[in-house]
Amino acid sequence: MRELRIRVLAGVFVVAGILSWAGARLWNSLGTLPSVPVAAPIVLALIAVVLAATALSLRARLKAQRERRPEAKGVDPLMAARAVVFGQASALVAALVAGMYGGVGVFLLESLEIPARRDQAIYAGFSVLAGIAVIAAALYLERVCKLPEDEDDDTPGAAPAA
């Protein structure tokens, strides 16, 4: 399984932001811009909390297992792999959604004197922050579940893995 690349996430965020900003300008010139839902930052924050709680739980269980505590519950490798895949998918979607709301938020900065637009800009800003929290929690979960490097593969003269 490949690690998440911050460059890829940043690229998705920037491209989504630019396209969203351009789309918001076009949509606003043709009619009324759709509103940013109040639930967007709440849902993203809940996903970040779930990812962080999963990472902390797995970290504690892995630490207890390494220390060979008698009450330690083992970590099923398949469950850890599923958690990492969920985290990676969540990070990619969060980068896309945060970029989208970021682009709309930048567009809305032009009209902060209108109370409804100001509220929408605030919701968009909180959505971007919550999306960044999802990405941070996903990267932490991935780091917690990462296997230690196999030292035999790094020695000179070792046969390459097939």
Residue 152: band (very low, low, confident or very high) from pLDDT cuts 50, 70, 90: very low
Query: Is 151 or 53 the better-scoring residue by pLDDT?
Result: 53
Query: Is 46 or 29 the better-scoring residue by pLDDT?
Result: 46
Query: In the predicted model, what is the mean pLDDT of residues 12-34?
Result: 91
pLDDT of residue 71: 76
Query: What is the pLDDT of the chain when averaged over all its residues?
Result: 87
Q: What is the pLDDT of residues 59-88, one digit of tens each?
A: 888 888 777 777 777 778 888 889 999 999
Tell me the pTM.
0.84
Two tokens, residue 51: 């990812």
